[in-house]
Amino acid sequence: MRKTNYSPIIFLFFFLFSLLFSIQGQTLSKKIDRKDLKQYVSKLASPALEGRRTGSEGKRLAAEYIAEQFRRLGLETRLEEFSLTESYRGETYLETASGKRFKDYEEIMFQGTNYYNEEVEKEVVFGGYGRPEELESIDLKGRIVLIFSVDHKTGVEAYSLLRKTEAEGLIVVPVDRPARFDAERDRMKEYTLRHRFFMPNDPNAFVQPIALDTMRFLNSYVLRVAVVKELMGMPENKLEQYIKTNKITDVPVVPVKIKFERAQKEVTTANVVGLLPGKSEETIVVSAHYDHLGKKEAHYYPGADDNASGVAGMLELAEAFAGRKDLPYTLLFLAFAAEEEGLVGSKWHVNHPDFKAENVFCNLNMDMISRVDAEHETAENYIYCLGSDRFPQLHDVLLKADSLYDDCFIDYSLNQTGGMFSLYSMTDSYNFVQKGVPALFFTSGLHPDYHKTTDTADKINYRLLESRVRQIGLVLELLQQIQEN
């Protein structure tokens, strides 16, 4: 509670305002209903929508579904379509002299960023255990050096030596621990083969670990021990003999053919917009991203909390306000595409020439609002709000809204997660902030099903979701009052 050092008249004003507001608030609350929320979440997280991956049919169906809801509510509905470049690893193999093709992630794993989009011919030279004296003894120029790794350091050390030479690449054969191939594959495969999306002409949208990228001017490959013979023309124990007798230079160089394709194609995706005009053109943007991670082999990522819950909240708020002709502010309900690809949909929206930052009063964004994180197991009806520490006028509104609604409490503690990579800076809200628009980000935080195929609709707490959306609805209602002052 605030300290009441107001004069009695001001106090009376606040009291009347609160009373008036609590009546409006109750009407609003009644319209936000867990049955509707459940219906929205169930639909968006259903198998038919295939995890709503950017560029997929499931995502297109999700956009269509959201647009359909906006139209049903009488909002001015449109799609903000835009194209993205989809980039992914294409055909990738190493072919031996005898014509046997080792496929990526089957017999060999490709790591690196020096692509061969067309098949090239290279030579593989044997480098023993990759020790400095061994590497010095062989002709490295333009060749791929195959070494036996005898402990976890071998490959790393050979790599850092070879990157200073004219060698073309490094093949590591984990003779010490053949199972390392499978362990490595399980660790890397999903990340490596993941399709990336970025805006044409926007290299920043294509997030890559920069330090790693500049280091890795050599491709490295991990080869299954079992196929060494097929590649080198002799089994590994014979090769070991050459090492033992200091004669690795006698091992014949073998020719190979390699293809390592970086494929690209253009895909179209869309933000979905529903506009509810107010008396002023000044707009409050209520947003949530609707895309998610798609499918992984036989399974799909339902993304029920991430972010069917936020979209459901946005749709339910649209429903609660739809039909109101007296709104001071225009409300723009906005479902963002391609958030999972690096906040691309919101970035596109705020960079479009039609976007006028001076006409946007603020943004309220919801992402993952239906679960309980580890910090709140005993006080589960909370909602984190981030960004209010930067915008005191919004913070006052939040305090007021929180005091008017007992059920849910607003937790500001994530505001303190600072630094360059603060949570706030990794949200769609932040793209508004960068254009000078105040923005609030609402979330219930992380949980063990985050970005897993287990983020399913049956784990959603609809009672909490309803309560949280009501709380956000009160914030929205109070924001509407501000202009009257």
Minimum separation from the CB atom of position 293 to Zn ion (A): 7
Q: CB of residue 306 vs Zn ion: minimum separation in angstroms?
A: 4
- Please name which of 366, 364, 322, 337 lies closest in space to residue 70, comparing C-alpha atoms: 322
Within 8-37, the residues that bind Zn ion by CB under 5 A are none
Number of residues that bind Zn ion (CB under 5 A): 1
Token pair of 337, please? 């595409």
Element at 113 (helix H, strand E): none
Question: Two tokens at 38?
Answer: 């459940």
Least separation in angstroms between residue 411's CB and Zn ion is 20
Only one of the segments 27-35, 273-281, 300-308, 309-317 lies at the binding site for Zn ion (rule: CB under 5 A); that segment is: 300-308
Determine if 373 is a binding residue for Zn ion (CB under 5 A): no
Q: Given the complex with Zn ion, which of 305 and 316 has the nearer CB atom?
A: 305
- Measured in residues, the chain has a length of 485
CA angle, corner 126, sides to 120 and 127, nearest 5? 115
Least CB distance to Zn ion at residue 66 (A): 17
To the nearest whole angstrom, how small is the minimum distance from the Cβ of residue 291 to Zn ion?
9
Nearest to 139 by CA among 252, 296, 5: 252
Q: Which amino acid is residue 27, in one-letter code? A: T
Contact region with Zn ion (CB under 5 A), list: 196-204, 241-249, 299-307, 401-409: 299-307
Specify whether the CB–CB gap between 346 and 336 falls below 8 A. yes
What's the min distance (Å) between Cβ of 302 and Zn ion?
A: 12
Sequence-distant (6+) residues with CB within 8 A of 378 are none
Binding mask 117-156 for Zn ion (x = CB under 5 A): ----------------------------------------
By C-beta, is 138 or 338 nearer to Zn ion? 338
C-beta closer to Zn ion: residue 195 or 216:
195
Q: Which is nearer to Zn ion, 149 or 443 (CB)?
A: 443
315-342 burial, b at 16+ Cβ within 10 Å, e below that, comes to bbbbbbbbeeeebbbbbbbbbbbbbbbb
Are 59 and 65 in contact by the 8 Å Cβ rule? The answer is: no
* Direct distance between the N- and C-terminal alpha carbons of the chain, in angstroms, rounded to an integer: 23
Q: Which is nearer to Zn ion, 50 or 477 (CB)?
A: 50
Minimum distance from residue 464 beta carbon to Zn ion (Å): 19
Least distance from C-beta 473 to Zn ion, angstroms?
24
Question: Closest separation between CB of residue 344 and Zn ion, Å?
Answer: 13
Closest residue by Cα to residue 381 from 301, 297, 469: 469
Region 301-320 residues binding Zn ion, contact defined as CB under 5 A: 306
Q: Kindly give the residue spans of alpha helices, DSSP state H, lying in 73-100.
A: none
Beta pairing partners, 426: none
The whole-angstrom separation of Cα 97 and Cα 95 is 7
Q: Whose Cβ is closer to Zn ion: residue 219's or residue 429's?
A: 429
Tell me the two tokens of residue 10: 């001001």
* Smallest separation, CB 451 to Zn ion (Å): 6
Q: Whole-angstrom Cα distance, residue 275 to residue 285? A: 9
Subset of residues 225 to 244 that bind Zn ion, contact rule: CB under 5 A: none
Can you tell me the distance from the alpha carbon of 311 to that of 305, in angstroms, rounded to the nearest whole number?
Answer: 10
CB 59 within 8 A of CB 51: no
Is 77 or 309 the residue whose CB approaches Zn ion more closely? 309
**Torsion sign over Cα 176, 177, 178, 180:** negative
Q: Tell me whether residue 322 or residue 446 sits nearer to Zn ion (CB atom).
A: 446
Closest residue to bound Zn ion by CB = 306
Mask for 249-288, x = binds Zn ion (CB under 5 A): ----------------------------------------
Query: Nearest approach, Cβ of 339 to Zn ion (angstroms)?
Result: 7
HSE, side-chain direction, 13 A CA sphere, residue 197: 24
Of 195 and 229, which CB lies nearer to Zn ion in the complex structure?
195
For Zn ion, the closer of residues 247 and 451 by Cβ is 451
Reply yes or no: is the peptide bond before residue 307 cis, omega within 30 of 0.
yes
Q: Are 290 and 335 contacting, i.e. CB atoms less than 8 angstroms apart?
A: yes
Question: Which secondary structure element, helix H or strand E, spans residue 52, and what is its range?
Answer: none
**Which span (88-96, 141-149, 171-179, 298-306) binds Zn ion, by CB under 5 A?**
298-306
**Minimum distance from residue 337 beta carbon to Zn ion (Å):** 13
Rounded-to-integer distance, Cα 312 and Cα 318, Å: 10
- Nearer Cβ to Zn ion (101/451): 451
**Based on CB atoms, which residue is closest to Zn ion, 309 or 471?**
309
Instruction: Give the residues lining the site for Zn ion (CB under 5 A).
Output: 306
